[in-house]
């Protein structure tokens, strides 16, 4: 390997390592770190939806600013109600470790939803990130569905 190609390789590796998390997008679905999602939620740029179970929400609380929709047969109806049926509304999904939110993101993308984000690592951390709690982001007590 000559010097020029080494430099090119190192520059490319550094650029990839330092790229913003949005570069983690796959299949048209953005994967963002919890800190970035939280900032967008606070600014009203994203609607964060926690897709864990009521038992999980009760045990840990929910991310500050999140809405809750359990993965159940009524999920799509609840999502349509929450978004007014707007398939272009910016949505972010979070679960415990990222597996369920990844599933939801892919399923919605296949059904024509266009502006979907998956929270990297979920609440507790997973293969794609350290998660909401390890990022020391605020959680709120879940008061039950009202």
User: For the segment 69-122, what is each residue's pLDDT rounded down to a tens digit?
Assistant: 999 999 999 999 999 999 999 999 999 999 999 999 999 999 999 999 999 999
Model confidence band, residue 144 (pLDDT cutoffs 50, 70, 90):
confident
16 assigned to some structural domain = no
11 assigned to some structural domain = no
36 assigned to some structural domain = yes
Q: pTM for the whole thing?
A: 0.81
| Cα distances (angstroms) measured from residue 118 to each of 36, 60, 95, 96, 114 | 11, 20, 9, 12, 13
Residue 69 backbone phi and psi in degrees, to 5: -140, 115
Bigger pLDDT: 9 or 39? 39
Residue 140, token pair as written in the block: 């709120």
145 assigned to some structural domain = no
User: 66: domain CATH number?
Assistant: 3.40.250.10
Number of domains present in the structure of the chain: 1
Residue 87, token pair as written in the block: 């398939």
8 assigned to some structural domain = no
What is the rounded CA–CA span in Å between residue 63 and residue 95?
Answer: 10
76 assigned to some structural domain = yes
Q: What is the mean pLDDT of the chain?
A: 84
Give me the domain span that covers residue 128.
21-140
1 assigned to some structural domain = no
């Amino acid at each position: 390997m000559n010097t020029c190609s080494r430099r090119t390789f190192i520059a490319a590796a550094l650029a990839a390592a330092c790229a913003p998390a949005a570069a983690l997008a796959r299949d048209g679905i953005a994967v963002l770190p919890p800190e970035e999602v939280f900032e967008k939620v606070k600014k009203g740029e994203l609607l964060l939806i926690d897709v864990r179970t009521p038992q999980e929400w009760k045990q840990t609380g929910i991310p500050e600013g999140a809405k809750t929709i359990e993965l159940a047969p009524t999920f799509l109806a609840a999502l349509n109600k929450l978004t007014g049926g707007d398939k272009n509304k910016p949505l972010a999904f979070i679960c415990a470790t990222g597996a369920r939110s990844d599933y939801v993101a892919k399923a919605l993308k296949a059904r024509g939803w266009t502006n979907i984000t998956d929270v990297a690592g979920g609440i507790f951390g997973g293969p794609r990130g350290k998660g909401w709690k390890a990022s020391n982001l605020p959680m709120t007590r879940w008061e039950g569905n009202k």
